[in-house]
Amino acid sequence: MVGKWHLGFYRKECMPTKRGFDTFFGSLLGSGDYYTHYKCDSPGMCGYDLYENDNAAWDYDNGIYSTQMYTQRVQQILASHNPTKPIFLYIAYQAVHSPLQAPGRYFEHYRSIININRRRYAAMLSCLDEAISNVTLALKTYGFYNNSIIIYSSDNGGQPTAGGSNWPLRGSKGTYWEGGIRAVGFVHSPLLKNKGTVCKELVHITDWYPTLISLAEGQIDEDIQIDGYDIWETISEGLRSPRVDILHNIDPIYTKAKNGSWAAGYGIWNTAIQSAIRVQHWKLLTGNPGYSDWVPPQSFSNLGPNRWHNERITLSNGKSVWLFNITADPYERVDLSNRYPGIVKKLLRRLSQFNKTAVPVRYPPKDPRSNPRLNGGVWGPWYKEEIKKNKPSKSQAKKKQKKSKLKKKKQQKAGSGSTCHSGVPCG
């Protein structure tokens, strides 16, 4: 693995090398400086965040822009690996994510973009495009390409306040609107049967696992319940996806919809809970789905997205349930929840079924022991299991004393009646 981990590291068991990867070079946190690889979580909580396997990679503290640094590492891995042997290479580039930083030469083509955040974002993306090109070239140079599959995927929608754009989709990163959850992606491979096509079937990130296992001719234990489906034939041959639904999320902690209630959810679901689900063409949202504007690219002034050009929707109109036909209305402009109460109920029941399988939420407070100051100036595992030894009570202590006295007497009696001859083991 090369790049951003961002899946937890409070214990060593949570690190990439303990979660299936043979090697790891990258960062543990969600963001940080692209050149120094330092991150401040809050005042006084700052540290270095670049790792080589399980140790801080201090040797790489030399100001290389992370997109280029990660590409160099990928090139080294491919150069030293035998192309006749399988390899799974997960590259999680830091770009494009705040802070918005890019090497100067990538800004040359974007001087006409007035908004500084949008300009920086474009420069970062150009550098990322170049990186993908260089990785593809390395696959060809070192003999991997003809038997390779490249999957390019993003983790969420763009953030308009930080240079991103989801237009014409609704909402932004961190919301359950399509602008927050629908991501850019493609599959490139000589092994594809139908090339140059667009797949409009339902595909979720959990589908990559069984798809890749199947392509690598591996086996998944039938007893293991997994969320994903093998979608290779859907992508390669244009067949229908085996997937019929996607649980976008259920957040039982985020219940800020003032008008949400069990009554609004027909007694099936508490619509104060922030959740979203897709079943075939239909998408249902409950609670407060988050920032819900449509932000067109032309609204970007030098001050950021101009609210005068946004189409604003207020959520204070008593609503806590929305229903959309995403196939017909991908921009989520026509709420059909009042027109099709039967479909609303059906999707609420599906939400409830999913929720019954949920693991209880564990959201502990910040642990001061995680401060890099206490860990050599590095972000990394800090938690150690505390083994508490219970002190014996007075009655237990007395019993122990009696037992040890009896034991000593027995040993003395046994010892007085036995003799050890030279050369004969005794005891």
CA distance 328 to 200: 12
Give the gyration radius of the chain's Cα atoms. Answer: 29
Q: In what order do the strands lie in the sheet with 91-92?
A: 55-56, 51-52, 25-27, 2-4, 91-92
Tell me which DSSP letter residue 60 carries: G
pLDDT at 291: 86
* Cβ contact 289:312 at 8 Å: no
pLDDT at 278: 98
Backbone angles phi, psi at 322, to 5 degrees: -135, 145
* Cβ contact 34:99 at 8 Å: yes
CA distance 16 to 91: 13
**What SS3 class is residue 339?**
coil
Give DSSP secondary structure letters for 264-277: TTTTTS-TTSEEEE
C-alpha dist (Å) from residue 12 to 19, 157, 308, 356, 402: 10, 31, 49, 31, 44
* Cβ contact 326:178 at 8 Å: yes
Q: What is the value of pTM for the model shown?
A: 0.85
* Cβ contact 323:347 at 8 Å: yes
Among 9, 183, 207, 187, CA closest to 96: 183
Q: Which residues, 6 or more positions from 155, have their beta carbon under 8 angstroms from its beta carbon?
A: 183
C-alpha dist (Å) from residue 375 to 39, 40, 49, 56, 378: 14, 14, 12, 11, 6
CA distance 157 to 292: 13
Q: Which residues sit opposite 277 in a β-bridge?
A: 247, 284
Quote the distance between the C-alpha of residue 380 and its chain's center: 18
pLDDT at 177: 97
Judge residue 70's burial from the number of C-beta atoms within 10 Å of its C-beta, 0-12 exposed, 13-18 middle, 19 or more buried.
buried
CA distance 4 to 70: 10
pLDDT at 256: 78
Tell me which DSSP letter residue 311 carries: B
Judge residue 184's burial from the number of C-beta atoms within 10 Å of its C-beta, 0-12 exposed, 13-18 middle, 19 or more buried.
exposed
CA distance 153 to 186: 7
Per-residue pLDDT of the chain (427 residues; tens, 9 = 90+): 999 999 999 999 999 999 999 999 999 999 999 999 999 999 999 999 999 999 999 998 889 999 999 999 999 999 999 999 999 999 999 999 999 999 999 999 999 998 899 999 999 999 999 999 999 999 999 999 999 999 999 989 999 989 999 999 999 999 999 999 998 899 999 999 999 999 999 999 999 999 999 999 999 988 888 999 999 999 999 999 999 999 999 999 888 788 899 999 999 999 999 999 999 999 999 999 888 899 887 655 655 555 545 565 655 567 999 999 999 999 999 999 999 999 999 999 999 999 999 999 888 898 999 999 999 999 999 998 765 555 555 555 555 555 554 444 444 444 444 333 333 333 3
C-alpha dist (Å) from residue 287 to 57, 297, 340, 353, 403: 43, 28, 18, 18, 65
